[in-house]
């Protein structure tokens, strides 16, 4: 009997880690083009505003999927939705390989957004559900780390391949296609976690609905996710141009490494959440995020590199604390049959944060210049993070003070 239990436990660990690996591979594809935008600008010829628009096409693809079918995995199952997401990610890579101009570039980003939209909430719920009972808390970290780690590995991989290997606009996407094929095989072999899942052909667009149990924690969690993803959005869409044009750094591996630093720091920030508790991690994450935004403002104002790297580390850590805390609060409050939809709703808010401010920076960069547009962004996001952080800290302290009297 002991051997059977050990076998089941080992199988459970392999299952949720396999799902997390597929999650990371899919998300890596969404940031793979980040260090390559300068090469595309030289080849195709478009402005910095178009870079942010191309980036935003991805974000709106994510949002559209989350809004229309974000909770579909609660009825048709997690596995078929993730397989569809991997197929769309492969289509994105093919579009980039066939790229002949701006339309295919936008198509690649759109397909990438659709795949991420299918994966974001569904894969998070899947990893949590596949984990053995004793590893549920760790599985929450694994899910958010796969999300952020995958996003960070994309620019790191493409930056090094583009700088030190041949065919910089081809090889990164060929490598990603190989990883996607392996992820498809792994996901195909995983068990389904949704009881009584209906056939995929029965899936229909349906509006996201928040169950009553989630509504009390959703707004503060969503604000934290919005602000954190806004910072990451600027790093992935604007920082390559700032590094090249203002700091004179043209090494694509260095660009990829700096962007990776923000996502790596996010993963490290998530490690602090179990000690802090999810309720306290969200407001504290907002406050750490403010420090990261201040460092970004210093880098933009004085055109210097060290504060930019520190901003990636500090701001990424704050984003990670806030994101894992928000995911933990939402997942704990949502009933199992609505967990995928509730997490998808959280990521809808997050991806508005990764798109709207980025487009704003792109629009302002024409009249103001990239650095000054970034300064406007940091000021707006710092105000939002300060307001939400102060509110959440007050809310947490009030709840703690009231607890002994209950």
pLDDT bin (cut points 50, 70, 90) of residue 399 is: low
Per-residue CA distances from 248 to 32, 155, 164, 212, 356 (Å): 22, 19, 19, 52, 27
What is the number of alpha carbons within 13 Å of residue 14 lying toward its C-beta? 10
Residues 240, 318: Cα–Cα separation, whole Å: 22
Q: What pLDDT does residue 235 have?
A: 76
pLDDT bin (cut points 50, 70, 90) of residue 23 is: very high
**Per mean pLDDT, which of 44-48, 173-177, 400-404 is the most reliable?**
173-177
Torsion sign over Cα 200, 206, 212, 215: positive
Q: Of all residues in the chain, what percent carry a pLDDT higher than 90?
A: 36
Assess contact for 381 and 293: CB atoms under 8 A.
Answer: yes
Radius of gyration of the chain (CA): 20
Residues 6+ apart with CB under 8 A from 316: 231, 232, 261, 262, 263, 264, 265, 266, 268, 269, 292
**For residue 7, pLDDT beyond 50:** no
Assess contact for 50 and 190: CB atoms under 8 A.
Answer: no
Q: What pLDDT does residue 80 have?
A: 94
Q: What pLDDT does residue 8 have?
A: 46
pLDDT bin (cut points 50, 70, 90) of residue 10 is: low
Assess contact for 325 and 224: CB atoms under 8 A.
Answer: yes
Mean pLDDT for 192-207 is: 77
Assess contact for 347 and 62: CB atoms under 8 A.
Answer: yes
Chain segment 106-120, per-residue pLDDT in tens: 999 999 999 998 998
**For residue 142, pLDDT beyond 70:** yes
Q: What pLDDT does residue 48 have?
A: 67
pLDDT bin (cut points 50, 70, 90) of residue 4 is: very low
Residue 191 Ramachandran class (φ > 0 left, ψ -120 to 50 alpha, else beta): beta
What value does the mean pLDDT of the chain take? 85
Opening angle at CA 185, ends 179 and 190, nearest 5 = 125
Nearest to 323 by CA among 384, 261, 397, 273: 273
Chain segment 279-303, per-residue pLDDT in tens: 788 888 888 999 999 999 899 889 9
């Amino acid at each position: 009997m002991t051997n059977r239990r050990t076998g089941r436990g080992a199988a459970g660990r392999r299952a949720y880690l396999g799902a997390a690996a597929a999650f990371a591979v899919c998300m890596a594809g969404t940031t793979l083009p980040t260090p390559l935008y300068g090469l595309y600008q030289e080849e195709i010829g478009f402005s910095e505003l178009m870079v942010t628009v191309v980036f935003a096409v991805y974000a709106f693809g994510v949002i559209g999927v989350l809004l229309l079918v974000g909770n579909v995995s609660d009825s048709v199952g997690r596995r078929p939705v993730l397989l569809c997401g991997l197929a769309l990610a492969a289509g994105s890579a093919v579009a980039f390989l066939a790229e002949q101009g701006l339309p295919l570039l936008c198509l690649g980003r759109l397909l990438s957004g659709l795949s991420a939209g299918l994966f974001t909430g569904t894969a998070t719920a899947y990893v949590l559900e596949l984990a053995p009972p004793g590893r549920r808390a760790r599985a929450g970290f694994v899910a958010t780390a796969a999300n952020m780690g995958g996003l960070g590995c994309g620019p790191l991989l493409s930056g090094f391949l583009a700088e030190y290997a041949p065919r910089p606009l081809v090889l990164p996407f060929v490598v990603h296609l190989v990883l996607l094929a392996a992820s498809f095989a792994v996901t195909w072999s995983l068990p389904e976690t949704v009881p009584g899942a209906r056939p995929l052909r029965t899936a229909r667009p349906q509006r996201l609905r928040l169950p009553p149990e989630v509504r009390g924690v959703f707004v503060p969690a969503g604000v934290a996710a919005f602000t954190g993803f806004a910072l990451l959005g600027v790093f992935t869409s604007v920082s390559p141009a700032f590094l090249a044009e203002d700091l004179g750094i043209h090494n694509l591996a260095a660009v990829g490494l700096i962007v990776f630093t923000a996502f790596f720091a996010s993963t490290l920030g998530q490690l602090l959440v179990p000690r802090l508790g999810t309720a306290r991690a969200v407001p504290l994450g907002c406050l750490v995020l403010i420090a990261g935004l201040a460092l970004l403002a210093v880098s933009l104002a004085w055109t210097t590199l060290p504060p930019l790297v520190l901003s990636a580390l500090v701001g990424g850590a704050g984003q990670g604390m806030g994101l894992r805390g928000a995911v933990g609060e939402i997942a704990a409050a949502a009933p199992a049959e609505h967990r995928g939809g509730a997490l998808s709703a959280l990521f809808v808010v997050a991806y508005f944060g990764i798109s709207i401010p980025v487009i704003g920076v792109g629009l302002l960069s024409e009249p103001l210049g990239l650095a000054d547009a970034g300064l406007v962004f940091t000021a707006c996001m710092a105000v939002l993070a300060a307001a939400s952080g102060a509110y959440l800290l007050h809310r947490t302290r009030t709840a703690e003070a009231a607890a002994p009297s209950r």
